[in-house]
Structure 1
């Protein structure tokens, strides 16, 4: 039996990832809903604030347990934190979980040796989904820190959504900008992730077009002399 290559995860870890990605994606949406309620709900919402806090805590605990099991199944020990840095990032920012689905489907696609056109479509769709979730969560976070700050230009959640759209698309009108330290940290992270997502979508779409044109050329009969 051939030894497992260092860059290929153990079969047990691969099976676990394939079985849990969709349920954990649903859990990340529950996490987002709980966080959104805590930020946007009126202060007199009473027990609903406690319920949303319980949802956020329970889903994050689920992500911690999943991370611990991945670490154990990987056989890497503490090197897992560095080698599988995306898993660590997802633990800190659960709304980036769609990026993990790209990893899993890439591994499945390569293992089954199927045409890769579907993979490019998945990369584009998951990156787009991640951009929407990331922009919404950034808008919530910036609104939470900014709306009560002195001289803030982001006073409503609508202002925060407009700011997130302008930042993700690298337009940067400058009419709504964060003024607090935490708001600027969130803005810097959104800029970096936005550029990465834009690069992923652009690269995947370009590769998809090249594959389509190549297949069309292969289908054409050779020209007669």
Structure 2
């Protein structure tokens, strides 16, 4: 397990193979609960923890479970992790738990989690499986928070409203009003806004990838400094 393995897993989870904007998995919660940053953060934290726990458990039992019962066992592991996360949220962030509602238990059927358990964790040792789960969760969470921030900012003219639901009473003052007397842009908060901004984020990533590829191709085409060109002269008879 070289350091390059962990770098590749990090790059895949956060950018090259991001589950939200490359694989386009888990779009139902991505589009449904990202009306604000606090909602996005809550779901991002829950999904990342479930990914980390499920990948860890699946990797530990990968040589014990037969192929015949592999998928049902994976689903049971994911469901148990989701249940634990739900109980923790009920105990410490009950109001946010109520806001997220059905989308918390639906993490059990999130294609990102089952897909990583089956495609990676079941075939790799524990450290790599844990790293994969963490990076995929962070990659998914970053897009959730970015989308939530864009929709909240353009929809209400403010950021970080109701952060006390997640971080306690001390976070009540985190609310940052960007524009006073802002006329609410309802499209950003409503479901069509989620589709629009998700498309814009995907388009932005594709543009960045295209520019990176263009620069790499330009560097490859550039002659190496100090190299000499050999000029061939003569006639062909």
Q: TM-score, normalised by structure 1?
A: 0.30
Larger radius of gyration: 2
TM-score (norm 2): 0.29
Greater helix share, structure number: 1
